Amino acid sequence: MLQDPIFNLPDLLSVIVQGKVSADIITSYLQEDEIQKDAIVYVPKDQTEFDIEIDSGKFSWDPDSSNPTLEGMKLKVKRGMKVAICGTVGSGKSSLLSCVLGEIQKLSGTVKISGTKAYVSQSPWILTGNIRENILFGNQFDSAKYNRTVKACALTKDFELFSCGNLTEIGERG
């Protein structure tokens, strides 16, 4: 009668510990400071020729540190430019992108953004569903726009490899 509960006790303890760790992580996240509301100035497109402009930027992941993560940042990206950010591991590439997103503490300087911005992290984030749903990301299906996107991303040959094409299930079930 007590054999099954005693046998399951190690699994129960493991689940409790995992739950505690998860709860601590969530608590820590929820207690973090909010992103600075004034970190970025949004400029209408008709008032500037730049999509991104950082002037005398000083940024830090730890605002209390005496050594800022990035200092003396100057960057101007004209509308329509394609920019590659290259560097060694730990050189500040992701921190620079975080400046543009307003996700790193701005200590001084200005960050101006004109238009919209998007960030694609190094780790893929895939919705459970099919490939088309992941590309649409909740937007309405517009055949012409969708086909242009697929062509621009050179996905046509990839879709041909799948028996269901762009309707192939991916994510947890795929």
**What DSSP letter does each residue of 58-112 carry, written as one string?**
EEESSTT-SS-SEEEEEEEEETT--------TTSSHHHHHHHHHT-SEEEEEEEE
Contact predicate 167/132, CB 8 Å: yes
Domain check: are 55 and 102 in the same one? yes
Q: Kindly state whether residue 161 falls inside one of the protein's structural domains.
A: yes
Q: Kindly state whether residue 95 falls inside one of the protein's structural domains.
A: yes
What pLDDT sits at residue 2?
74
Domain boundary pick from 67, 88, 113: 113
Which pLDDT tens digits describe the chain residue by residue (174 residues)? 678 878 888 888 999 999 999 999 999 888 877 777 888 999 999 999 999 999 999 999 988 888 999 999 999 999 988 888 898 988 999 999 999 998 899 999 999 999 888 787 777 778 889 999 999 988 999 999 999 999 999 999 999 999 999 999 987 655
Global pTM reads: 0.56
Contact predicate 108/97, CB 8 Å: no
Domain check: are 109 and 45 in the same one? yes
Domain check: are 103 and 137 in the same one? no
Q: Which residue has the tokens 């992580």?
A: 25
Q: Please, what is the Cα angle at 105 between 110 and 85, to 5 degrees?
A: 70
Q: Kindly state whether residue 137 falls inside one of the protein's structural domains.
A: yes
Domain check: are 61 and 87 in the same one? yes
Q: Which residue has the tokens 């950082």?
A: 54
What pLDDT sits at residue 99?
92
What total number of domains does the chain contain?
A: 2
What pLDDT sits at residue 107?
92
Q: Kindly state whether residue 14 falls inside one of the protein's structural domains.
A: no
The domain containing residue 134 runs over which residues? 129-170
- Give how far Cα 20 sits from Cα of 23, 28, 48, Å: 5, 12, 50
What pLDDT sits at residue 115?
86
